[in-house]
Amino acid sequence: MSIPDLLKAKTVLSLEVFPPKRDGDVEALYRVFDAVAPLKPDFISVTYGAGGGNVGPHFDITRRLLSLGITPLPHFTCVGLDRDAVRRQLDRLAEAGVRNLLALRGDPPKGAVGFEPPADGFAHASDLIAFIRARYPFRIGGAFYPEKHPESPDAGADLRALKLKVEAGAEFLISQMFFDNNVYTSFVRKAREAGIAVPLIPGIYPVVSARFFDRDFSVGLPPEFRGGFRGTDPAADREFGWDYAQRQCLDLLRSGAPGLHLFVMNRSDTALRLWPALAARIAAPSA
């Protein structure tokens, strides 16, 4: 079933993985698929390296999911690709049997000042989505940023850009991570007021180590979340992160989220730890 049709039929529970940087490690990812397959995720999304640096593994991993009977949601970014290059890659995905795609602009290469589309390329995800929509039968999703995309001058401009993405053909949207559910619920309210009616799936990042905070993801870190990680006891930090993510997810389901997309960072233990409570809540929402 396509992801938009699934979203009409049920609350979805899905995972995101990334192609490992080293070739040998792809086998480790396939072992993750074996471990999570019994959970029957509604789909597994596969990130795409900006500039197409991991096209080969990205395609192989997508095909592996198809062969396991798991719906793949390949991400696709248009950084550095002109229309012919986009077409060649999308033809290959369509021929392999892919039916759903997460279409993104992507980030500028490290060190670049701002995003520069190549000649005959795409400046915005909405342009890429319109291009795909006109030529392929893919069901298309896009990204959204409850705390605003870092390049946007303000939240209103970002919301207007998001509406363009939906008008171009995005039928569902998956969020950037956030750690305060009020951020998501308030964004959903504003999006509905702005006329964005498609499902807005929260993307949840179960943080398993204090090392997460070494990077800046431009998202808010509530003190009770940040303060729960001590950095001195990895097992306690992992348990705190899983517990926080589980509470976040259950609260989102209670408030009517159309699904949950878990950024599990290729860790089957994270998926296996969180799944039972979330699946039970979805199966019996009033329990």
- Residues forming the active site: 16
d(CA 99, CA 91): 12
In the bound complex, what is the minimum distance in angstroms from residue 213's beta carbon to ligand FAD? Answer: 19
Following DSSP, what letter does each residue of 77-113 receive, concatenated? E-TT--HHHHHHHHHHHHHHT--EEEEE--PPPTT-S
Rounded to whole angstroms, how far apart are CA atoms 234 and 165?
41
Q: Does the protein bind ligand FAD through residue 174 (CB under 6 A)? A: yes
What DSSP designation does 175 have?
E
Token code pair at residue 156:
């209103």
Selected range binding ligand FAD among 24-32, 90-98, 103-111, 264-272, rule: CB under 6 A: 103-111
User: Any contact of residue 104 with ligand FAD (CB under 6 A)?
Assistant: yes
Residue among 106 and 241 whose Cβ is closer to ligand FAD: 106
Using CB atoms within 10 A of its CB, is residue 11 exposed (0-12), middle (13-18) or buried (19+)? buried
Pick one of 62, 140, 146, 165: the residue that binds ligand FAD (CB under 6 A).
165
Per-residue contact track with ligand FAD, 66 to 95, x per CB under 6 A? ---------x-x------------------
Does 258 engage in binding with ligand FAD (CB under 6 A)?
Answer: no
What count of other Cβ atoms lies within 10 Å of the Cβ of residue 246? 19
Q: Does 105 bind ligand FAD (CB under 6 A)?
A: yes
* Residue 107 is a binding residue for ligand FAD (CB under 6 A): yes
Is 126 a binding residue for ligand FAD by CB under 6 A? The answer is: yes
CB of 132 to ligand FAD, least distance (A): 12
Report how far apart, in Å, the C-alpha atoms of 163 and of each of 73, 114, 122, 142, 169 are. 22, 22, 17, 11, 10
Q: How far is the CB of 154 from ligand FAD (least distance, A)?
A: 10
175 forms bridges with which residues in the sheet? 144
Q: Which is nearer to ligand FAD, 48 or 240 (CB)?
A: 48
Q: Check binding of 2 to ligand FAD (CB under 6 A).
A: no
- What's the length of the chain? 287
Is the CA virtual torsion 203, 200, 76, 154 positive or negative?
Answer: negative
Tell me: does residue 203 bind ligand FAD (CB under 6 A). Answer: yes
Contacts with ligand FAD, residue ranges (CB under 6 A): 47-48, 50, 75, 77, 104-107, 124-126, 142-143, 149, 151-152, 157-158, 161, 164-165, 174, 176, 203
